[in-house]
């Protein structure tokens, strides 16, 4: 049986992984906690799983840190965040409860650790008892931060009219909270999950996952969406004013992102490389499902939130190949030096006059199985096509760029995933793929004209996950 186990992406040893939680740096280690249903597919028991690293590259798995054993979280220790305070790591999370009538109850809770590995739940949990008037029990995913000595918490919510929003709380300390109100009057979908609000350069960024958006052409074609607004939070009024909602990733599997600040001041993001209600991938045969993205550094180009792979990932590289400039005109060409199952590929392509050009990743020699990135020279649209990527996967996703005359493309391929960064992360495609063992080749083509490949670099990538 072929194994689709990821080698440099965080994935669970077994069971169901979803949202990254509690991203933090504490006592010399980076910590990634995550939603972990250990009993999947035979039951549901959501813990906080745990990985840690000293370098953001090599990750050690640890025992889970939060278990659903108390009255306020007995049906799941749901998503949340972590922050250092007084030499301790504080983890804020949502306790999910189904009462005897089958109704949902929701509680915002706290657990405290002195070492990052062992947590004790706060004796006065819950911090926020159930949910405020005007909202439904869909009230979860606290993200906590400090500003000017005041604590703030943003929570994803659903109004009683079944529209989504995010709600702000504040406190003088991390133990006592008061409701400020909704940060936005936008009505996007029926529920906002996993909100994150943070400063970046001279702006504030609101990231969230609105459920219930209808497709609009090339937009909003996944089961649920994830995106952002760029603007400013008025801390006195608790109101966020920002740009229109923009999707954060243009691929298939990208949801529930969370960010944190590194000691050197970088804003780093992980996302779940999956979707809610997506529980049927081929890895179930190996008793695990889903993974996280690679860590990405965020930066702004105007009001465009961009993502680029963190430089620490370069430590995974070995066996480099660098090709001189070459042209492709109305043909397909395999690049044998770029074959591999786990690779990083870095390209810069100038479109001379081609109507279309593109790249084949994880391709077999017969060109019957591949993941294709297609560039339309007329419309400047770029499409990720995984109709022939292998098991399970189907579909296409498209984004329009301002220009494709000169396109920078950086790609990370693991055993069962592909992440594509266009023009230094102005746009990204993230997707799971499940090709055969023989599909390890790379090719490039053009139709109706010529392209010049100005830069072509490839590295094999080492494993970075330790169970």
The pLDDT tens digits for 310-349 are 999 999 999 999 999 999 999 999 999 999 999 999 999 9
**pLDDT at site 1:** 73
Cβ–Cβ under 8 Å, residues 414 and 342: yes
Q: Select from 2.60.110.10, 2.60.120.560, 2.60.15.10, 3.40.1410.10 the CATH code of 319-462.
A: 2.60.120.560
Integer Rg of the chain from CA: 22
Indicate the CATH number for domain 15-309. Answer: 2.115.10.20
The one catalytic residue among 19, 196, 249, 385 = 19
Residue 325 has a CB neighbour count (10 Å cut-off) of 11
436: annotated active-site residue: no
Q: How far apart are CA 262 and CA 271, in angstroms?
A: 17
Per-residue confidence (pLDDT) for residue 398, from 0 to 100: 99
| Closest to 112 measured CA to CA, from 71, 51, 65, 52 | 65
Q: What is the pTM of this model?
A: 0.97
In this structure, what is the dihedral angle of CA atoms 237, 243, 215, 269, given to the nearest 10 degrees? -80
CA 365-385-434 angle, to 5 degrees, is: 60
Listed as ranges, residues in the chain with pLDDT below 70 are none
Domain spans of the chain, in order of start: 15-309, 319-462
Distance of CA 402 to the CA centre of its chain: 25
Give the number of other Cβ atoms within 10 Å of residue 10's Cβ.
23
The secondary structure element, H or E, covering residue 227 is: strand 227-234
Longest dimension (CA), the chain: 69
Evaluate whether 358 touches 370 at the Cβ level (below 8 Å).
no
How far is residue 330's CA from residue 314's CA, in Å, rounded to a whole number?
A: 34
Cα angle for residues 196, 76, 205 (degrees, 5° grid): 5
pLDDT of residue 185: 87
Check residue 225 and report its DSSP letter: -
299 burial (CB, 10 Å; 0-12 / 13-18 / 19+) is middle
| 113-150 tens-digit pLDDT | 999 999 999 999 999 998 999 999 999 999 999 999 99
- How confident is the model at residue 234, as a pLDDT? 96
Q: Of 118, 123, 78, 116, which Cα lies nearest the Cα of 98?
A: 78
Q: Kindly state the helix (H) or strand (E) to which residue 456 belongs, with its residue range.
A: strand 450-461
What is the model's pLDDT at position 313?
99
Helix, strand, coil content of the chain in percent (nearest 5): 5, 55, 40
């Amino acid at each position: 049986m072929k194994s689709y186990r990821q080698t440099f992406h965080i994935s669970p040893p077994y069971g169901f992984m979803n949202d990254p939680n509690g991203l933090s740096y504490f006592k010399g280690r980076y910590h990634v906690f995550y939603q972990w249903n250990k009993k999947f597919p035979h039951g549901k028991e959501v813990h906080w799983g745990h990985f840690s690293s000293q370098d953001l590259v090599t990750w050690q798995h640890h025992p889970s840190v939060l278990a659903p054993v108390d009255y306020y979280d007995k049906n799941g220790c749901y998503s949340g965040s972590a922050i250092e305070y007084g030499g301790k790591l504080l983890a804020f999370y949502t306790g999910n409860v189904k009462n005897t009538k089958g109704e949902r109850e929701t509680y915002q809770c706290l657990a405290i650790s002195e070492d990052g590995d062992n947590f004790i739940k706060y004796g006065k949990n819950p911090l926020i008892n159930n949910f405020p008037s005007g909202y439904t029990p869909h009230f979860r995913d606290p993200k906590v931060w400090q500003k000017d000595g005041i604590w703030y918490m943003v929570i994803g919510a659903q109004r009683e009219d079944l529209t989504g929003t995010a709600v702000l709380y504040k406190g003088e300390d991390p133990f006592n909270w008061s409701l400020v109100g909704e940060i936005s009057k936008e009505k996007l979908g029926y529920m906002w999950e996993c909100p994150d609000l943070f400063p970046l350069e001279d702006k504030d960024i609101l990231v969230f996952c609105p459920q219930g958006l209808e497709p609009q052409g090339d937009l909003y074609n996944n089961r649920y969406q994830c995106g952002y607004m760029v603007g400013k939070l008025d801390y006195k009024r608790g109101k966020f004013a920002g740009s229109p909602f923009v999707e954060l990733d243009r691929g298939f599997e990208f949801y529930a992102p969370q960010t944190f600040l590194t000691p050197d001041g970088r804003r780093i993001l992980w996302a779940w490389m999956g979707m809610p209600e997506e529980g049927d991938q081929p890895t179930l045969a190996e008793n695990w499902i889903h993974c996280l993205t690679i860590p990405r550094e965020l930066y702004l180009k105007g009001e465009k939130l961009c993502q680029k792979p963190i430089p620490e990932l370069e430590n995974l590289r070995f066996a480099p190949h660098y090709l001189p400039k070459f042209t492709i005109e109305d043909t397909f060409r395999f690049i044998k030096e770029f074959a591999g199952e786990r690779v990083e590929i870095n390209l810069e392509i100038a479109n001379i006059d081609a109507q279309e050009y593109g790249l084949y990743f994880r391709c077999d020699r017969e060109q019957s199985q591949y993941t294709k990135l297609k560039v339309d020279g007329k419309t400047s649209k770029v499409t990720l096509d995984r109709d022939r990527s292998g098991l399970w996967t189907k579909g296409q996703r498209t984004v329009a760029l301002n220009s494709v005359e000169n396109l920078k493309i950086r790609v990370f391929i693991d055993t069962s995933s592909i992440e594509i960064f266009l023009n230094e992360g102005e746009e990204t495609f993230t997707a799971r793929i499940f090709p055969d063992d023989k599909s390890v080749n790379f090719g490039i083509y053009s139709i109706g004209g010529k392209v010049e490949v100005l830069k072509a670099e490839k590295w094999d990538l080492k494993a970075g996950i330790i169970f």
